[in-house]
Structure 1
Amino acid sequence: MASAATAELGVDKRRVREQVKKALRQLSAEQMAEESRLIAARMLASAAFRDSPHAIIYVHCAKLREVDTTAILEAAMAEHKRLYVPRVQDKEANMHFLHLDGWGALQEVPPFGIREPRPTYDDGRERQDVLLVDEPLELIVMPGLAFDRSGRRLGRGGGYYDKFIYSAQDRAAARGWAPPLLVALSFRSQLVERVPVEPHDVGVDAIVTPDDVIACTPAGAAALPASSVS
């Protein structure tokens, strides 16, 4: 019975992924740019961003039609936040988040041209890994493929963010720190009525859309209250 339910859930996930990918393909470059502008403005106006000296913010991939994070990353660097961005390690869902000290630290990685940080600084030192430094992590700004208003998130199937977030939450608990706030950025077409999830799928505290901020937990409501942006 369990295997049948698991198989059915897998079918549901594939259906939602295809539905949202199709909708994303129909967005024009102008639509994506305008929605990304509104999303960034909401994110930058939030206490979640203002009160997070250490943050993970993903570097968007144009080919995957992700919400553009350029303005958010630039603001974080301008405010001298300790900023970390993802670097995929292998096909076993292992992803490291390394310190970003400037745009020049990024390199494009095939096949999608995702920009990832080089493993070393210009002077040859190993680039800092967020899980290996003795400082808290207040904020994770993450992508996804589909979301619902309860905070359920559907990724692209690799499980990279789920695996990392469990490690980050365990690390915070072991040190007596608050867990990082989990915030997703979403185009309008990525919001669906219900995302099919499994027990290990990590939900988010808040979803930032062009139209509003969807608080999914009390922590999300406190850090990202609805704002007026035009």
Structure 2
Amino acid sequence: MEAVLRRMSTNEALREAKRELRALIARRLDTLNPESVHEQSRTVFKLLAGLPQYQQARRISVYLSMPTGEIDTVPIVQDAFEQGKQVFIPFTHRAVPATGPGGDPKPSVMDMVSLHSLDDYQGLKRNSWGIPTPTKSSLETRRNCIEEVKAGESGLDLIVVPGVAFDSACRRLGHGKGYYDYFFKRYHEATDGKLPFTVGVALQEQIVDASASIPVGNQDWPLDMILVGNGTSIRRE
């Protein structure tokens, strides 16, 4: 019982540290003007386009950005199609209950599904976060990257990852739902331990101070690299 209580206390302390950091970053982003987001997004795209891992990737996953508060990924989506890459985007849905066969312990999960073209992108509806999102009915025409891997087909080569905050060790803080971390876990299991190259993209206001670090637990996955809107990049050692 003492060990259980100690674990509960540790988990609550971790959740509180994450809540405080999200609030801090939100205050920073509140002061950010659209012009700065636009310029930083252009800078990050140039950094990404220059990476050999991006240039050589044939199948990539890209998050579709919110209207404010994060790097705009529209230039990345446009360039990927121009370069003939296959593009996959997040789709979040209610999970199969864990009590059923192949069930999931989480109430909702994120999959990466295929985006067909720029016209397909422009036809997506925005959800409550302002993010362009596929409809459930369109999934019949979209490929699911984890299902393809399980069937023995090619997986992803690179994933462009969003976040609320990042640090110098390529640790990432998300919005608290655990979607990306759980996706990495599922993909890792489906590929017997392989993961695509993971690239976080960040406004400079989303990088924590050099003396600080992202609070993480054993469910949190580090990234391979972070590209920052001030023109710098961070590699995991």
What TM bracket, shorter-length normalisation?
0.7 to 0.9
Check whether the contact 2:162–2:201 (CA below 8 A) recurs between aligned residues: yes
Check whether the contact 1:173–1:179 (CA below 8 A) recurs between aligned residues: no
1:179, CA displacement in angstroms?
2.0
1:49 is aligned to 2:54: yes
Letter in 1 for 2:236: C
Per-residue deviation, residues 64-119 of structure 1 (Å, max 9, x unmatched): x2200111111101111111001111382411211111233242243122111344
Check whether the contact 1:146–1:190 (CA below 8 A) recurs between aligned residues: yes
- Alignment partner of 1:194 out of 213, 217, 225: 213
- Alignment partner of 2:89 out of 79, 82, 85: 85
Give the equivalent residue in structure 2 for 1:152.
171
- Alignment partner of 1:204 out of 195, 219, 223: 223
- Please tell me the root mean square deviation across aligned C-alpha atoms, in Å: 1.7
Q: Using the alignment, how far apart are the partners of 1:188 and 1:100 within structure 2?
A: 29
Structure 2: any 5+ residue segments left out of the alignment?
1-5, 95-105
Per-residue deviation, residues 134-170 of structure 1 (Å, max 9, x unmatched): 1121111110001101011100000111111111122
Could you say what secondary structure the match of 2:141 adopts?
A: coil
Q: Using the alignment, how far apart are the partners of 2:74 and 2:92 within structure 1?
A: 20
Give the equivalent residue in structure 1 for 2:197.
181
Give the 3 Å change call, closer, same or farther, for CA 52–119 of structure 1 in structure 2: farther
Check whether the contact 2:127–2:133 (CA below 8 A) recurs between aligned residues: no
Per-residue deviation, residues 25-70 of structure 1 (Å, max 9, x unmatched): 110000100111101100011112101101101111114x220011
Per-residue deviation, residues 155-200 of structure 1 (Å, max 9, x unmatched): 00001111111111222227xxx42111100000101121101110
1:126, CA displacement in angstroms?
2.7
1:115 is aligned to 2:120: no
Matches within 5 A, 1:4-153: 4-63=9-68, 65-90=69-94, 92-106=107-121, 107-119=124-136, 125-133=140-148, 134-153=153-172
Q: Using the alignment, how far apart are the partners of 1:153 and 1:144 within structure 2?
A: 6
Once the two structures are aligned, what percentage of the paired residues are identical?
Answer: 26
Q: Using the alignment, how far apart are the partners of 2:116 and 2:30 within structure 1?
A: 33
Q: Using the alignment, how far apart are the partners of 1:169 and 1:54 within structure 2?
A: 17
Q: Using the alignment, how far apart are the partners of 1:100 and 1:8 within structure 2?
A: 39
Check whether the contact 1:105–1:118 (CA below 8 A) recurs between aligned residues: no
Q: Using the alignment, how far apart are the partners of 2:31 and 2:217 within structure 1?
A: 29
Give the equivalent residue in structure 2 for 1:170.
189
1:215, CA displacement in angstroms?
0.4
Normalized against structure 1, the TM-score is what?
0.86
Check whether the contact 2:161–2:198 (CA below 8 A) recurs between aligned residues: yes
Check whether the contact 1:151–1:205 (CA below 8 A) recurs between aligned residues: yes
Larger Rg: 2
Q: Using the alignment, how far apart are the partners of 1:49 and 1:116 within structure 2?
A: 24
1:23, CA displacement in angstroms?
0.6
